[in-house]
A and B are shown apart, each in its own frame.
Chain A
Amino acid sequence: MRVRVKLFATLGMYAPGGESAKPFVMEVDQGTRLNALLDKLDIPEESVRVKFVNGRARKWDYVLEPDDEVGLFPPIGGG
């Protein structure tokens, strides 16, 4: 099944093809959990501070569904 992924800020470096803030589509198996998506993208779990699906914050054990829109945001500390 397909899900849409958007990597925010510095996480864009893990997007296929390199630095990108644009959403991209990924093919994943039925039953894939949110944290398994990180393995596919080689993103360390501790590099993500906010993860959300379809505009709502979720936990790592959220089971993805077809056409879900996933967003991952790193910690940012500046002000």
Chain B
Amino acid sequence: MISDFSQSELLRYSKQILLPQVGIDGQRKLKQASVLIIGVGGLGSPISLYLAAAGIGRIGIVDPDRVSLSNLQRQVLYSFNTVGEMKVEAAKQRLTGLNSCCQIDIFPVAFTSENAKEIAEGFDILVDGTDNLTTRYLINDLCVRTARPFVFGAIQGFDGQMALFDSRIGPCYRCVFGSPPPSDHIPLPADSGVFGVLAGLVGLLQAAEILKIILGIGETLGGKLVLINSLTAEFDHIEVLKDPSCPVCGENSEIKART
């Protein structure tokens, strides 16, 4: 059955459909999938571009910021002409231009405990493109409560981290990172530099993980944390385990019990 794809779509995705691990059935899974990207900055740029190119049916993007000139070194969704525009507006235009078959839903707001549940409603997978730990904890807790995968990524300087957290099959973000650290021990992106290509490296690992989850192919990274050093091109895989005393996904979870 290929009648649910137009001739143009079949041509567009032909190189992907030719892969036996994808095929027309896999392409249909991508078309039926929905992914919410929280933050369309350094990580969200490559993630959204490659997911749209691959033919994800519905992509949600959340970001309250406007494009600034200092973003352009790593946020490849944007151009000089879009400086000053809302990021989600500029991103929608770019992504729709790349693939008009994708539905792009935009949320020009911060992702907070007040609106998170409503925004994330109906999306299969939540993706971390944020620039702060508070939002990462919020995404994680929501994913645990609603039994959805959380594809995590973080970058700073020349180093990055990436993981798939799915509390149904392995640890959640809190199992690995514990409670939020004191704010004075978190180097803020605004205070420190970041190697532009690192955003691409980590973001594309996240995008690959999302596509693998949807297609059900390869080995997902559940239970592993990937550490990336862009100066040495070293990738370390760390085995991480579920914490039985985790306040969110543990046996006597307080946070889960509250919701």
Q: Which residues of A are in contact with B by a Cβ distance under 8 Å?
A: 8-10, 21, 44, 46-47, 49-50, 52, 55-57, 71, 73-79
B112 in the interface, Cβ–Cβ < 8 Å? no
Contact partner of B232 among A10, A21, A52, CB < 8 A? A21
Closest to A53 in B: B238
Verify A8–B229 contact, CB threshold 8 A. yes
Interface of B, secondary structure class, is mixed
Least Cβ–Cβ distance between A75 and chain B, in angstroms = 5
A9 neighbours in B (Cβ, 8 Å): 156-159
A78 neighbours in B (Cβ, 8 Å): 42, 131, 154-156, 189, 192, 194
The 3 nearest A-B residue pairs measured at CB: A76-B156, A78-B189, A9-B159
Verify B238–A77 contact, CB threshold 8 A. no
Give the CA-CA distance A73 to B236 in the complex, in Å: 11
Give the CA-CA distance A79 to B132 in the complex, in Å: 8
Verify B187–A76 contact, CB threshold 8 A. yes
Count of interface residues, chain B, beta-carbon cutoff 8 Å? 44
Contact partner of B188 among A57, A73, A74, A77, CB < 8 A? A77
Give the CA-CA distance A78 to B239 in the complex, in Å: 23
Q: Which of B48-56, B94-102, B177-185 contacts A (4 or more CB under 8 A)?
A: B177-185
Contact partner of A79 among B42, B159, B178, CB < 8 A? B42
A21 neighbours in B (Cβ, 8 Å): 229, 231-232
Least Cβ–Cβ distance between B178 and chain A, in angstroms = 7
B176 in the interface, Cβ–Cβ < 8 Å? yes
A10 neighbours in B (Cβ, 8 Å): 156-157, 187
B26 in the interface, Cβ–Cβ < 8 Å? no
- Given known pairs A55-B238, A57-B241, the reply for A76 and B159 (CB within 8 Å) is yes
Closest to A6 in B: B236
B222 in the interface, Cβ–Cβ < 8 Å? no
A52 neighbours in B (Cβ, 8 Å): 238-239
A56 neighbours in B (Cβ, 8 Å): 238-239
Give the CA-CA distance A44 to B184 in the complex, in Å: 12
A79 neighbours in B (Cβ, 8 Å): 39, 41-44, 128-132, 153-155, 189, 199
Verify A57–B133 contact, CB threshold 8 A. no
A50 neighbours in B (Cβ, 8 Å): 161, 176-177, 225, 227, 238
Least Cβ–Cβ distance between A41 and chain B, in angstroms = 16
